[in-house]
């Protein structure tokens, strides 16, 4: 009986211990599973938030790079616009200078045309002088035809040998000095200076590459032959004729001789004037040719300047179109930059919102972990307390079992003693 009671007590203690251990094992397994599930969820949430944060950082970095590229491109476009503006100003100044030069050339061309008109008028006046000279030459030829008698009465004068011109004053200066002096004079002044004297005319013609006027060979008077017998007889006849002339006829003949001398002086003066007018006419023709060449050069320069002006206008129009395109492009880039700035601000706000949500979720998870750790600590404390109680209970049961064993032994001893006593009484 004691053995059965002890076995039953032991069995009950073992069942209670097994139940407690099973409950603790199940509780620990369940706690571990819950902890594993929560840790897995937290880890997944952390990985997802880390991926979102990485993606957001990548987008922010890309937006920053795009913004920097757009800013660099905008700065480059601004620099190009500034360069184009400077080039446009330089082209405008260059065009203005060319227009001023063209206006100056046009004014010079007008002055040359005025000088050409004056030269034409002078040529016309020289033509009238030429006609007067021709009429005077006709008169001189008529007078020469009437000079036969005078040639018989007096010997012819010897031909004066022209002396070479003496270089005095500015004529002694070198060509470079004269060209510097002529640069301060007009063409008309140079032409008038060439008409002052033959040395100046030859010097100026040589300087400007103009061929000197062809000298008209002067007809030398006939060389008087030595008087022959026939001449002497004619002189004798002339003396007789003179002796037979009356005072009135002598006076008329003397007046005729004086008139012939005056006409000879007029003829010499007209010859000098003719030569001077011829030289002036030749110089005027040379100046006219020079002015015509200068006019052709000015016309070519004017055509070239007009062509350059048209090219400059086309280039200016092209520059204006380029500037308009650059302005439109810069406006478009500014709009894109504003749009990228707006997107960047939106991404920053979204990133801040995600960071706040992540922080809030992290805080919640930390609170949950703290609460779970507190619960775990409480469960561990409760399990320890239960374990201590169970150990005390087991010790109590073991002490009770030992006491029961002792009682059982006592009862068995008493039983054996009673059995022996009964057996002794029976015997």
Residues 6+ apart with CB under 8 A from 195: 201, 276, 279, 280, 283
* pLDDT tens figures, 25-35: 766 776 777 77
- Residue 284's nearest CA partner among 105, 174, 130, 108 is 130
Kindly tell me if the per-residue pLDDT of 160 is higher than 50. Answer: no
pTM of the model: 0.27
At 223 the pLDDT is 45
Question: Hey, what are 281's tokens?
Answer: 């006419």
Between 2 and 392, the more confident residue is: 392
- Residue 210's nearest CA partner among 279, 286, 297, 123 is 286
Give the mean pLDDT of 113-136: 66
* pLDDT tens figures, 285-320: 777 777 778 778 877 877 887 888 888 788 888 878
* pLDDT tens figures, 364-395: 878 877 887 788 788 888 878 887 888 888 88
Kindly tell me if the per-residue pLDDT of 352 is higher than 70. Answer: yes
At 345 the pLDDT is 85
Kindly tell me if the per-residue pLDDT of 167 is higher than 60. Answer: no
């Amino acid at each position: 009986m004691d053995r059965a009671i002890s076995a039953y007590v032991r069995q009950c203690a073992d069942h209670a211990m097994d139940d407690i251990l099973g409950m603790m094992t199940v509780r620990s397994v369940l706690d571990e599973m819950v902890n594993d599930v929560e840790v897995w969820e937290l880890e997944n949430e952390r990985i997802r938030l880390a991926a979102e944060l990485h993606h957001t950082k990548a987008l922010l970095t890309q937006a920053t790079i795009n913004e920097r590229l757009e800013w660099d491109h905008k700065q480059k476009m601004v620099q190009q616009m500034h360069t184009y503006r400077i080039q446009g100003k330089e082209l405008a100044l260059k065009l203005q200078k060319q227009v001023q030069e063209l206006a100056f050339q046009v004014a010079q061309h007008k002055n040359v045309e005025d000088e050409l008109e004056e030269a034409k008028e002078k040529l016309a006046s020289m033509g009238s002088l030429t006609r007067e000279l021709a009429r005077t030459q006709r008169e001189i030829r008529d007078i020469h035809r009437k000079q036969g008698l005078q040639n018989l009465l007096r010997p012819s004068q010897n031909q004066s040998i022209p002396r070479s011109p003496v270089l005095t004053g500015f004529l002694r200066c070198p060509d470079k000095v004269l060209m510097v002096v002529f640069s301060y004079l007009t063409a008309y002044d140079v032409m008038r200076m060439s008409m002052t004297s033959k040395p100046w005319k030859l010097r100026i013609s040589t300087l400007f590459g103009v061929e000197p006027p062809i000298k008209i060979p002067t007809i030398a008077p006939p060389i008087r032959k030595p008087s022959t017998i026939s001449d002497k007889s004619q002189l004798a006849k002339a003396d007789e004729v003179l002796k037979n002339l009356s005072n009135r006829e002598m006076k008329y003949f003397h007046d005729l001789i004086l008139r012939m001398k005056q006409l000879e002086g007029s003829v010499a003066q007209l010859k000098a004037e003719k030569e001077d007018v011829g030289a002036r006419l030749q110089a005027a023709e040379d100046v006219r040719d020079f002015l015509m060449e200068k006019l052709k050069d000015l016309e070519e320069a004017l055509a070239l300047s007009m062509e350059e002006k048209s090219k400059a206008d086309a280039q200016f129009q092209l520059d204006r179109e380029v500037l308009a395109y650059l302005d439109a492009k810069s406006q478009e880039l500014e709009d894109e930059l504003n749009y990228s700035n707006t997107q960047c601000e939106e991404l920053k706000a979204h990133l801040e919102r995600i960071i706040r949500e992540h922080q809030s979720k992290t805080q919640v998870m930390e609170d949950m972990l703290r609460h779970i750790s507190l619960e775990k600590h409480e469960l561990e404390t409760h399990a320890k307390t239960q374990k201590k109680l169970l150990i005390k209970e087991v010790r109590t049961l073991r002490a009770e079992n030992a006491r029961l064993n002792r009682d059982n032994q006592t009862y068995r001893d008493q039983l054996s003693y009673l059995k022996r006593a009964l057996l002794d009484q029976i015997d």
